[in-house]
Amino acid sequence: MAQVKEFHLPDDLYYDRKEHIWARPEDEGVRAGLDAFGVCAAGTVAYVKLSPVGRQVQKGRAFGSMEAGKYVGPLKAPVSGTIAAVNQEVLANPGLLNVDHYEQGWLVVISPGNLGGDIADLVHGPDVQPWLEAEVVEYEQKGMLKKEEERQCK
Amino acid sequence: MQVRLLDLGAVSYLESQTIYHAVAHAMDDATPNTIALVSPDRPYVCIGYHQELDKEIDLEYCRSRDLPVLRREVGGGAVYLDGEQLFVQFIFHHENLPRKVEEMYKVLIGPLVETYRTFGIHAHHRPLNDILVGDRKIGGTGIAVIGEAIVVVGSLMFDFDSDAMAHALRVSSEKMRDKIHQSLRDYMTTMKRELGRRPPRQRVKSILIEKLRDALEVELEPGSLSYKERKTVEAVNRRFLSPRWLRRQGGLPRRHVLIRGGVRVAEAEHKAPGGLIRVTARLSEDGIEDLTLSGDFTFHPQHLLEELEVALRNRRLDEYDLTGAIDAFYGAHGVQSPGVSPKNLAAAVLRLRDDPSS
């Protein structure tokens, strides 16, 4: 488990550096969701829209979108493939993303087309901790994150 | 860092939305960070990215007023827009804006607040994204990730047609519409309302540009759209006018109309043995500001229903408090309402709480 301040990122997951989407290869495909840092940046999630099962997605292209407070943004696929499952619970209750983003708040399962190639540039294992440390330092230095005591995403 | 300034003046209602979308969609490494200043040349209604047209908009009213409707790629609720607003649209590379939404809003809202203050309007930023004068909202803001860009949009309000806004929304009852209308009048303001007149538009724009330059510590270079961006505007124009885009399925739940942060108008229903109870209310962070009870239940003496509504003002949405207050009112006035107990009425009011954003 990588941890910097209140941000917990399990190091058995793979992370998209820019989008803060996590990916977990499983038997049925690659499960994906938003990581703790991404959730904190977005705020309270009000609505999630996800592409349907069977839809082809490209790595780096949107497989859905979300609306959080006064923000709308795409959710970008960490790997290419076909949507194999969509989390209906998170569609019905988008707040799951805020409270349990690694388990109940997963978004989709993607049946990958080129898993080995696609996950090569995702952050994983021992690389997660230094990457997260650098992210937090960078965003705090640039004033992109509130001071720790003012943050509300613990 | 240089920022391109697109000072476009009055443009068509369509391009008051599509230009910034197009700049964002066409963005590549060579695209400068851009700020666009535009106003639409005619009124229109604009719905949020995740909203559903038929659920949000009174299309009959819009047709009767010749009001076109567009869907934007920015979130939030439906709004009435016209030339009395100066839109300020940031289209920036991700790395040149803060990552966190609160901080992004500050980048835009700071210069807007400073511009209002230059004219003697005591505006302030109320996080997350409201600009207030006293407790009244002046202008709206929103953020979206579009293509490779971060888009932050806001406006300076010269004047606002609250009547058109209240009528353009699809609502469940005229009581709800009246309450929205009244709440917009109570909780929104404009430069005209604050100053008694509209300040000269060109002067406002000059001050805004100066404040943007100071806040961002950048040079604002007057510029124009590139060929690629103009072609993208044409493509976005076609998409935004297509029924498929306008009528795409949404699902963002709207059980209320947000007037400004912390203040909303909501409606709820509860079926009691004695009939349906409908509650329409304006709610603030402190509880019930104003409330109307209606439905098909019997309440005797009828004229006391209005007094009960007054008695429930300033109360919190708390079961114990509400039931106690309604009980006391029934006892003091000998109210009879067969099949509708104080507890049923309290339950109807408490349904206003079901709103997930409350």
Evaluate whether B305 touches B311 at the Cβ level (below 8 Å).
Answer: no
Give me A72's structure tokens: 């709308």
Predicted confidence at residue B254, as pLDDT, reads 63
pLDDT at A153: 60
CA distance linking residue A34 with residue A73, whole number of Å:
12
Return d(Cα B208, Cα B219) in angstroms, integer. Answer: 14
Judged by a CB distance cut-off of 8 A, whether residue A72 touches chain B is yes
- CA–CA min distance A104, chain B (Å): 19
Q: What is the pLDDT at residue B43?
A: 98
> What is the Rg, in whole angstroms, of the alpha carbon atoms belonging to chain A?
15
Partners of A86 in beta bridges:
A108
The predicted structure's pLDDT at residue A148? 61
Are A67 and B75 within 8 A, CB to CB? yes
CA distance A96 to B245: 29
Give just the sign of the alpha carbon dihedral A136, A139, A142, A146.
Answer: negative
Interchain pair A139, B143: CB under 8 A: no
Among all chains, which residue has been given the structure tokens 């206003």?
Answer: B352
CB burial of residue A44 (10 Å; 0-12, 13-18, 19+)? middle
Which residues does chain A have with pLDDT short of 70? 70, 141-154
Cβ of A126 under 8 Å from any chain B Cβ? no
* Spatial distance between the Cα atoms of B338 and B89, rounded to a whole number of angstroms: 57
Residue of B50, B108, B260 to mutate, testing the A interface (most A Cβ within 10 Å of its Cβ) = B50
- At A51, the amino acid letter reads S
Distance CA A70, CA B356 (A): 15
Interface probe for B, chosen from A19, A37, A71, A75 (most Cβ of B below 10 Å), is A71
Find out whether B316 and B284 touch, Cβ atoms under 8 Å. Answer: no
Please measure the distance between the N-terminal and C-terminal CA atoms of chain A and give it in whole angstroms.
Answer: 16
- Report d(CA A49, CA A73) in Å as an integer: 11
Cβ separation B101–A46 shorter than 8 A? no
**Is the CB of B94 inside 8 Å of chain A's CB atoms?**
yes
- Report which residue type is found at B246: L
Answer whether B99 touches A (CB < 8 Å). Answer: yes
Distances (CA, A) of B77 to B55, B184, B253: 11, 14, 10
In angstroms, the CA B65 to CA B53 distance is 17
Shortest CA gap B166–chain A (Å): 21
Helix spans in B218-303 (H)? 227-241, 243-246
Is residue B47 within 8 A of residue B59, CB to CB? The reply is no
- Picking from B241, B297, B254, the residue whose alpha carbon sits closest to that of residue B274 is B297
Nearest to A29 by CA among A51, A10, A53: A53
Using CA atoms, how far apart are residues B198 and B204, in angstroms rounded to an integer? 10
For A108, phi then psi, to 5°, come to -140, 160
- CB-based contact (8 Å) between B314 and chain A? no
CB within 8 Å of B175: residues ≥ 6 apart: B267, B278, B280, B292, B294
Query: In chain B, which residues have pLDDT < 50?
Result: 356-358
**Tokens describing residue A9:** 């990122």
Beta carbons of A69 and B101 less than 8 Å apart: yes
First to last CA, chain B: 41
User: Is the CB of residue A144 less than 8 Å away from at least one CB of chain B?
Assistant: yes
What DSSP line would sit under A61-109, residue for residue? SEEEEEEETTEEEEEE-SS-EEEEEE-HHHHH-TTHHHH-TTTTT--EE
**A93 vs B250: CA distance, rounded Å:** 15
Q: Are B204 and B156 in contact (CB under 8 A)?
A: yes
Cβ–Cβ below 8 Å for B75 and A145? no
* Contact status of B49 with chain A (Cβ, < 8 Å): yes
Does the CB of A95 have a partner CB in chain B at under 8 Å?
A: yes
The pLDDT value given to residue B320: 92
Q: Tokens 């209602």 correspond to what residue?
A: B13
Residue numbers in A near B356 (CB within 8 A): 46, 95
CA–CA dist B203, B115 (Å, integer): 10
Question: Any chain A CB within 8 A of the CB of B95?
Answer: no
Closest of B196, B166, B198 to residue B179, by C-alpha? B166
d(CA B290, CA B283): 7
A125 in B contact zone (CB under 8 Å): no
Rounded Cα distance, B254 and B180, in Å: 14
Q: Are B45 and B68 in contact (CB under 8 A)?
A: yes
Angle at A49 between CA B247 and CA A78, to 5 degrees: 130
